[in-house]
Homo-oligomer: A and B are copies of this chain.
């Protein structure tokens, strides 16, 4: 599915490095590889001795770090973030990493995920006199660390603070004497540890290791706090590991095809989902086409298993960026198409299987089915390489309220009719779990299925809302 065309968005990617003289440059390339996880802001904080240097800005990594200014980011440790932001979370003050300055030493934090009790914790902290400069749940962690009793060591203060958080979180924390990395007790968001020569690196996805030539070591474990400093790496825990529950949508849609999550390659998992789908449904058709970019792997798998030839039936327009002039309503009605073009000769007179990774509101699916039919497809069979999305995510994916999801309270056939397809098939949940094939023996093979089932792996607070929906004026 086309990220640009709908409201299903990952909220961030994080990166960290300790002990490399090119820390800022390495972070730049690492964040660049994570760019698909957030295109609205980017930042890098480096540590030079006790001094923290910061560059942050709105826009893509290569827009924020243009020219030579990256050379101002001196020091051999760094953390960084790329950020997706919703309406309420916009503004330069919300771009991470956040930096907290103190006469006794500074602290910088970057975060991927969503803390479901952030509002409660924030109200609690405000009652104790804390003031906040962002809308971000990330700021809560810094306050909790600061508020912890001064008699504790820093590590213990961080552990105590982390233990108060509920929800999904992958944190990288830079202090004046170390890099800390933490993963929530369910391990809801991916976070990997690697080595680049003698330096330690950490990233939301392994594709960030490949670009910098780092070696993957392992995933950060649920409930784990890793402390890296000049003495080496230590593993600690701030919480018991709960049932592992890696976000299914990372496999289905978010992660890059060349990343691995917990040892499973994303492209391969998606291809297996496509194959499994071809075993779950039989369609008489002439061509299989995928909706670029994220559905290509599943489409290839579907084609391979079904024997129906795979074709480029839809072409994505590579150069459409944010600065692109949008066609006027009049021109749009006259047929100006942006972003996605059907390939007439490929689909004209053909029965087409259109593979997509998921359906959110259904409006995009409807448009693409229509594009294919206008280009001459005689039948369009939509097959979706994941189960229907019926429940909101509270763990950092921007599909917030039930009402927006086309599959909530609708039958498959009602959805099919709404999007104008000749048939519509979703992959079964079992099929998806088997196809992805995580080794866990635990419930749901260690995957979170909340958006497909409404069963959430963590407590959900009565006030639980996406932080960007709770309007903090």
Give residues in A with beta carbon < 8 Å to B.
22, 25-26, 28-29, 32-33, 35-36, 49-52, 54, 56-57, 60-63, 65-66, 70, 91-93, 98-107, 119, 122-123, 126-135, 142-143, 146-147, 150, 176, 196-197, 207, 210-214, 256-258, 260, 264-265, 267-268, 271, 293, 296-297, 300, 304, 309-312, 315, 317-321, 323-325, 327-328, 330-331, 334-338, 341-346, 471-473
Contacts and interface: CB of A to CB of B under 8 A. Distances in A.
Contacts of A103: 119, 122-123, 126, 472
The count of identical subunits is: 4
Nearest 5 pairs between A and B by C-beta? A213-B335, A265-B345, A50-B473, A258-B343, A258-B315
10 contacts: A25-B325, A32-B319, A100-B131, A102-B132, A103-B122, A176-B473, A210-B344, A257-B315, A265-B346, A300-B310
A330 B22 CA distance: 10
A311 B101 contact: no
Contacts of A49: 473
Contacts of A176: 473
B66 A341 contact: no
A463 to B, nearest CB: 11
A343 B205 CA distance: 13
Contact of A105 (B26, B35, B100, B473): B473
Given A256-B315, A258-B342, 11 more contacts: A25-B327, A33-B341, A103-B119, A131-B143, A260-B344, A265-B344, A267-B311, A271-B311, A296-B312, A300-B310, A304-B310
